[in-house]
């Protein structure tokens, strides 16, 4: 059976030098492929090329036998990309938006629209201006599963979704794959990779050998975040990535609690009394997170003794980020 998606030697460089280089892979009908990479790895750039939003500077990309460099419009009719940007009309309802955008893809009677929206607990008859960012994300996902395309492309699709809604998303993913769609997911979330048939690791713009979940989790730091209406669990490769993660999460609400996974720091670092006094100056509900954050930072940077200067160093570093 021939591949639905064929990528050979794909290259695209931004003016600043970042991008992707010599990307090659194939994906077939009914397959779920996860492109896993941390911030700055090149995921979004690759997915934009696959979505025909930018043209490759070298290499070839075909969907169902159509070469994007020769027949871009034919490729566009075969794919449906979902990014984190919202292109809906705020004065229209979710239903009106969905029917309009699906009509652009030739779907005149999206029969499963209500069923899909209900699975995401989304009210289609509410104006989009009244939607939260998470609800707007659900509308995008609802449209993607109603359009029934050969290739579905998702960039960080579960950002801001709680555990229950993530489960719904992956149930829909598996249904789409079973129906014959090729699904490509770009993510830096461990849970997003667990439902994939294959995991391709993207690092500094190049693909590495296929990874396993165990290999991805090794050395990762677990972050538990409590928002007003949901609980989120994320993984980051380094504590330095925490500010960027929090920045993304702020789009969905203000965290009430952030817990950093066990880091084994208890007997490895020592807090001076002066550092403990400095910690006690922070709001009580933040003290646990700050303690874990400073201890993780200290271990990562070879400190065995935490002084007020170390606390200030962490504070200054994270304020800059």
148: CATH? 3.40.50.300
In 3-state terms, what secondary structure has residue 24? Answer: strand
pLDDT number for residue 220: 80
CA 225 – CA 33 distance, rounded (Å): 27
Same domain, 30 and 68: yes
Asked which of 217, 248, 272 is the last residue of a domain, the reply is 217
Same domain, 205 and 127: yes
Predicted model pTM = 0.79
CA 291 – CA 295 distance, rounded (Å): 6
What is the enclosing helix (H) or strand (E) of 40?
none
Q: Select from 236, 210, 213, 206 the least CA-distant residue to 46.
A: 206
DSSP state of 60: E
Return the CATH number at 238.
1.10.8.550
DSSP state string for 211-280: --HHHHHTT-EEEEEE-SS-EEEEEESSGGGHHHHHHHHGGG---SEEEEPP-S-TTT-EE-HHHHHHHH
CA 41 – CA 303 distance, rounded (Å): 29
At residue 237's C-alpha, the angle toward residues 233 and 238, to 5°, is 105
Range of the domain at 282: 221-320
Same domain, 17 and 112: yes
Band (1; pLDDT cuts 50, 70, 90): low
Same domain, 226 and 213: no
Reported as a single tens digit per residue, the pLDDT across 206-224 is 998 777 788 777 778 888 8
216, two tokens: 């991805």
Same domain, 229 and 122: no
DSSP state string for 88-140: --TTSBHHHHHHHHHHHTT-S--TTHHHHHHHTT--TTSBGGG--HHHHHHHH
pLDDT-wise least confident of 24-28, 52-56, 311-315: 311-315
Reported as a single tens digit per residue, the pLDDT across 149-201 is 999 999 999 988 888 899 999 999 999 999 999 999 999 888 888 889 999 99
Question: For residue 135, how far is the Cα from the chain centroid?
Answer: 16
- What is the tally of structural domains in the chain? 2
Reported as a single tens digit per residue, the pLDDT across 93-143 is 999 999 998 888 888 776 689 999 999 999 999 999 999 888 999 999 999
Reported as a single tens digit per residue, the pLDDT across 62-100 is 999 999 989 999 999 999 999 977 689 999 999 999 999
């Amino acid at each position: 059976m021939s591949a639905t998606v064929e990528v050979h030697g794909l290259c695209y460089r931004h003016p600043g030098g970042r991008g992707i280089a010599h990307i090659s892979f194939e994906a077939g009908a009914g397959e779920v492929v996860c492109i896993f990479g941390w911030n700055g790895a090149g995921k979004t750039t690759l997915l934009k090329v696959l979505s025909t939003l930018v043209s490759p500077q070298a290499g070839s990309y075909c969907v169902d036998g159509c070469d994007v460099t020769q027949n871009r419009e034919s490729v566009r009719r075969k794919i449906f990309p979902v990014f984190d940007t919202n292109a809906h009309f705020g004065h229209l309802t979710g239903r009106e938006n969905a029917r309009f955008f699906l009509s652009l893809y030739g779907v005149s009677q999206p029969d499963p629209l209500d069923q899909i929206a209900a699975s995401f607990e989304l009210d289609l008859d509410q104006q989009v201006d009244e939607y939260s960012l998470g609800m707007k994300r659900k509308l995008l996902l609802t449209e993607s599963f109603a359009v029934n395309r050969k290739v579905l492309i998702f960039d960080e699709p579960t950002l801001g979704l709680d555990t229950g809604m993530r489960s719904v998303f992956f149930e829909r993913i598996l249904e789409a794959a079973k129906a014959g769609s090729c699904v490509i997911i770009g993510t830096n979330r461990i849970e997003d990779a667990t439902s994939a048939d294959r995991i391709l690791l993207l690092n500094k713009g190049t693909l590495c050998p296929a990874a396993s979940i165990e290999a991805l989790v090794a050395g990762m730091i677990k972050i538990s975040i409590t928002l007003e209406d949901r609980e989120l669990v994320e993984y980051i490769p380094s504590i330095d990535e925490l500010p960027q993660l929090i920045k993304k999460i702020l789009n969905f609400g203000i965290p009430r609690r952030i817990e950093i996974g066990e880091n084994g720091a208890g007997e490895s670092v020592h807090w001076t009394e002066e550092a403990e006094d400095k910690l006690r100056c922070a709001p009580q509900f933040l003290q646990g997170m700050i303690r874990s954050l400073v201890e993780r930072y200290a271990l990562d940077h070879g400190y065995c003794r935490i002084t007020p200067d170390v606390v200030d160093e962490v504070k200054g570093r994270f304020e800059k980020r």
